[in-house]
Amino acid sequence: MSKLGQIAAEVGVSANTVLRVLRSENKEVWPSAAKRADEIRKAAQKIGYLPNGSARAMRKGKFNAIALVLSTDMGRSYLPNDLFNGIHDAINKLSMRMIVSKLGDKELTNERLMPAVLREWSCDGLLINYTDRVPQQMVRLIEKFHIPSIWINRKQANEAVYFDDFAAAREATGRLLKLGHKRITYLDFLAKETWSATHYSRTDRYAGYAETMREAGFVPTPREQFAGVPVADRLAATCQLLRGEGSPTAIIGYDAGPRIMHAATVVGLKVPQQLSVLTFGPATSSSQDQGEGFIGWRMGQMGLPGELAGHHAVEMLMQKIGSRDKAIPSVVLPLKFDSGDTCGPAPAEA
């Protein structure tokens, strides 16, 4: 006899009644019905029986779960804590589950896997944190099979949440110019041959900086100047920059604030009295927690609102699940300036 039959026989009800109770589909208005339901649950617990939730969800076509898709190449799936927490908290608020899956390009472009991905993962839609070098076949399959999906930190017109890095770089440069800085260097060591395939933020941040410098009548740092310096040589290259003739009074770094601060210490420059440093990073990281990495100093930065991005992504995905064929306009989020302890007026001699 099946476990379902055992419970039905012990309580003296039909198997269908047992299923309705265990699926929370039974009305328990009368005391007698509530008592019978309690007996059924206790009998089921005693023999360790649970109804097959996945099978039921497949029949109904709804799993009450969302999948967060990451690349196996973590360089293409930047996932800071605040972004993850924003996604998690928004899903949890909806009383839904989150499934996290890392896949390589081979799986994501598989003509047989993608159509079945929702069923195989028991989820209703995808949050895709796959930020650059996205296989076009993957995009085509998602569109072809109408898989409800929202992209995170990918720049496109619809079905995405991303950051306004161009405007953020303009603001960062403008604030340093207002502080009297004229020699503002933009620092990014990304190799030139990867520019066309890299994340949009690398192009947009430099473009925002360069445009603002030219509007102010200054010559921006050529993007090629630091391109392709090997990782092992970047500290030495930064030190050389700070020691050179006409060295900058301010640096905007694509990232790597700790390296810039270290280089300033090595060459004997005081921050921010002789050198201002401004970079980009998760908004929550410009608080005291991050500052402890610089012996109590807070890094000046343009903060990426990852938590807010996570909330927007979940909200948009729920809209997409409700109407698969309707285009959901992308949400573009501004970055927040925080001068921290590393941005100050240009030195008088400059």
Residue 152 and residue 240 in one domain:
no
Residue 200 and residue 292 in one domain:
yes
Q: pLDDT tier at 59 (50, 70, 90 boundaries)?
A: very low
Q: Which range is most confident: 2-6, 333-337, 339-343? A: 333-337
Residue 252 and residue 278 in one domain:
yes
Structure tokens at 97: 């589950």
What number is the average pLDDT over the span 46-53? 64
Residue 133 and residue 203 in one domain:
no
Count of alpha carbons within 13 Å of 157, Cβ hemisphere only? 1
Q: pLDDT tier at 50 (50, 70, 90 boundaries)?
A: low
| Final residue in a domain of this structure, among 51, 74, 89 | 51
- Cα–Cα distances (Å) from 260 to 252, 264, 271, 274, in that order, read 10, 6, 10, 13
| Domain, as residue range, for 281 | 165-304
For the chain, what percent of residues have pLDDT higher than 90? 55
Q: List all residues 6 or more positions away from 60 whose beta carbon is below 8 Å from its beta carbon.
A: none
- Cα–Cα distances (Å) from 233 to 193, 198, 255, 259, 331, in that order, read 18, 21, 16, 11, 38
Residue 7 and residue 84 in one domain:
no
Spatial contact of 69 and 128, defined as CB atoms under 8 Å apart = yes
Residue 152 and residue 175 in one domain:
no
Digit-coded pLDDT (tens) for 180-218: 999 999 999 988 888 888 899 999 999 999 999 999 999
Which candidate, 176, 344, 173, 183, places its Cα nearest to that of 249? 183
Q: Residue 35: which CATH number?
A: 1.10.260
Residue 321's pLDDT is 93
User: How many domains is the chain partitioned into structurally?
Assistant: 3
